[in-house]
Structure 1
């Protein structure tokens, strides 16, 4: 979508970000004052650019992000770029000398080159850079020293924790390495001076002995949407993001299947998940939920919320049993492994690796889906046993043949 407006600081600030359900992933706003100057608005970023026809082709080049550049600063740079383009020079084909390559330039290159990464992952990289290294974005890489990296990493670790500090500098390291592929004169990556914080595994599964207590606490939650979201993650083994964005249109009630159109890894890894009887019942309960009907009428989301996206994010519930949402996924995997279900089936269910498959959107049913129904039901039955401390499944059938009391 393209719109013409006068770009001012307040006007750009007020431009709405693209929502997840928008058909277009970017909206372009062109300045009415300087022809060819504009701002591109995405889901979480606003980027200034210039656009002009060169030799019969439309050429667009980025200037920088709103927040790093003011509108006036971006307009001034736009004039210079448009003058070059008027002389037939394509700024996208000009190679910057290493001394002028900024961290922001390297980051843009890194994000554009990472086509295999999901959109969510790339947004996380951008967020970490903007949040913790914003003062480095316009700084040449040649001016960022080993001492700078070491001290900033330590500072972030003290204030925001070791995991954040390590994540920030993994992004910086990767961006620098991308720039190094083009400018070998940059020299050794300064992150070699960073003393990385040790990271312990934080996403452990809930021990089987604690599942009954955890489930009772979850069942007693007063918010039915958050309650059912946590149960849904446990019984599907989905990643928290995939579970949060489930829409009613993704459910095939007749085939008892759920389409996950954009899992981690993007649309090319879209897959179908068989739904156990427990999950079908849970989803039917969600349809009847009076709270959702009252506060979120007509919502396309299975787990709606008062958020910009319209759906639930990660609920940070404090229960007696410690857990993380991703830990629920690991619990699902642990239970599946305890049942001696084939590693192939487990990987298929949690989308760790998939064989070549047909287009899942061309009909929900597939050989893989049929093959996974029994393992999914078996895992669900076992989870019910562990959570409810009962010997019966949700259908009322015993998991094991009951012993004859006379024997």
Structure 2
């Protein structure tokens, strides 16, 4: 073992012998300290024995560490070895702690968009397509060229999502004062969108407050309910609904839609009373043409089975079987219908009818069902509403046949008002679908 008292000059003059990968010069003042020289570098190292095993730790580059500081560090490491502590484990723990502090500092300065994306990824499997699309819309970057024709006075580039200004800030800066200022500004320009964004932001901050990695940064009280009441316009209940006398014009216009999938989708939504995405998500395997049953993915109960009425059966049987989706769309990435509103709005305009949302068709079913004096509990069960009374929850178990009797009666009455004859079972094309 080559041992000399280390000095700055000796360290400077130390060379790597030929045909050797590394060489050591050991200190006499701190016997466990050496300078290791390799091809192109010199560093202070500590070496000792722990449990009869050699322990070597690199202290640092000789250009970074002063000699006296390296000796002190070597003595500190030897003290740890004497106490049975492995200096390598201590060094790894120290490095990990330093990395954690750097990551924490980076995360505190990082935009809340990082946490927002983590939130979406964590909840994606539990959300429907529309809810997921809402989160993407309110956080979109904007500034991209519009691919479709723009409206009057509209810029050539897309507008950032309502939450984008807030999510560009560090999470800990999204407090009540900042949210209130943001909400006041957004409520003046796009109140409905602002209300949606506020609700999504509140759910996001609540999620962050339950996560250890974000808990100390998230302000759970940044979106208190009183703030929405104070800053947003009063919300009025929607009442768009087809009236009995409007049924002939609506059916005539919808049946003129050139896309048979959209035409069938709109009629099925009205005649089933189901939610927009429940209808769009129907698969061929969900339809039992033989026993006249339709299984729907219920957002409340998971699934519910409702009657397959004659006209709906005939509409579905006539659709092309392109893939697993009944209401398929070759142009959509998902393979199924995504946006029926455009064609529906055109049909309403052609028929001279007032604005009517897709959800308004569901509302229309519940309202029109009263004309045949259908029990409220029956129509609610078909539509997938939660039972609202003790009797409904615990003492009403309606078989599918009973629902079918009333559902067929509702459909027949709606079609009669529209001037359309309800098809019989043979006309409806009731048969087992072969994939």
* Coarse TM-score class (shorter-chain normalised): 0.5 to 0.7
Shift of 1:274: 0.7
Shift of 1:251: 0.9
- Given that 2:208 and 2:218 are in contact with CA atoms closer than 8 Å, whether structure 1 keeps it comes out as no
Q: What's the counterpart of residue 313 of structure 1?
A: 338
In structure 2, the gaps of 5 or more residues are 1-91, 141-160, 426-435
Q: Identify the structure with bigger relative contact order (alpha carbons < 8 Å, sequence gap 6+).
A: 1
Matched, 1:246 2:282: yes
Residues 304-332 of structure 1 deviation map (CA, whole Å, 9 limit, x = unaligned): 22111111123123222131111111111
Please provide the CA RMSD for this pair: 4.0
Matched, 1:350 2:392: no
Q: What's the counterpart of residue 60 of structure 1?
A: none
Q: For 2:139, what is the secondary structure of its paired residue? A: helix
Matched, 1:380 2:411: yes
C-alpha change, 1:95 and 1:120, in structure 2 (3 Å) is: farther
Q: How many corresponding residue pairs?
A: 289
- Given that 2:138 and 2:164 are in contact with CA atoms closer than 8 Å, whether structure 1 keeps it comes out as yes
Q: What's the counterpart of residue 199 of structure 1?
A: 235
Residues 160-193 of structure 1 deviation map (CA, whole Å, 9 limit, x = unaligned): x321111001111233344456559947425655
* Partner Cα distance (1:216, 1:193) in 2: 46
Q: What's the counterpart of residue 201 of structure 2?
A: 172
Matched, 1:134 2:164: yes
Q: What's the counterpart of residue 150 of structure 1?
A: 180
Return 251-260 or 218-227, whichever deviates more: 218-227
Q: What's the counterpart of residue 322 of structure 2?
A: 298
Matched, 1:220 2:256: yes
Under a length normalisation based on structure 1, what TM-score does the superposition of the two structures give?
0.59
* Partner Cα distance (1:85, 1:356) in 2: 60
Residues 95-115 of structure 1 deviation map (CA, whole Å, 9 limit, x = unaligned): 99x977974476578668879
- Given that 2:264 and 2:315 are in contact with CA atoms closer than 8 Å, whether structure 1 keeps it comes out as yes
Q: For 1:259, what is the secondary structure of its paired residue? A: strand
Map 1:332-351 → 2, pairs under 5 A? 332-351=365-384
Shift of 1:368: 3.0
Higher Rg: 2
- Given that 2:172 and 2:217 are in contact with CA atoms closer than 8 Å, whether structure 1 keeps it comes out as no
**Structure 2 counterpart of 1:263, from 298, 307, 311:** 298
Shift of 1:370: 2.3
- Given that 1:109 and 1:179 are in contact with CA atoms closer than 8 Å, whether structure 2 keeps it comes out as no
- Given that 2:174 and 2:219 are in contact with CA atoms closer than 8 Å, whether structure 1 keeps it comes out as no
C-alpha change, 1:280 and 1:140, in structure 2 (3 Å) is: same
Q: What's the counterpart of residue 326 of structure 1?
A: 359
Residues 207-255 of structure 1 deviation map (CA, whole Å, 9 limit, x = unaligned): 2221211111112222222111111111111111111122222111111
- Given that 1:166 and 1:197 are in contact with CA atoms closer than 8 Å, whether structure 2 keeps it comes out as no
Q: For 2:294, what is the secondary structure of its paired residue? A: strand
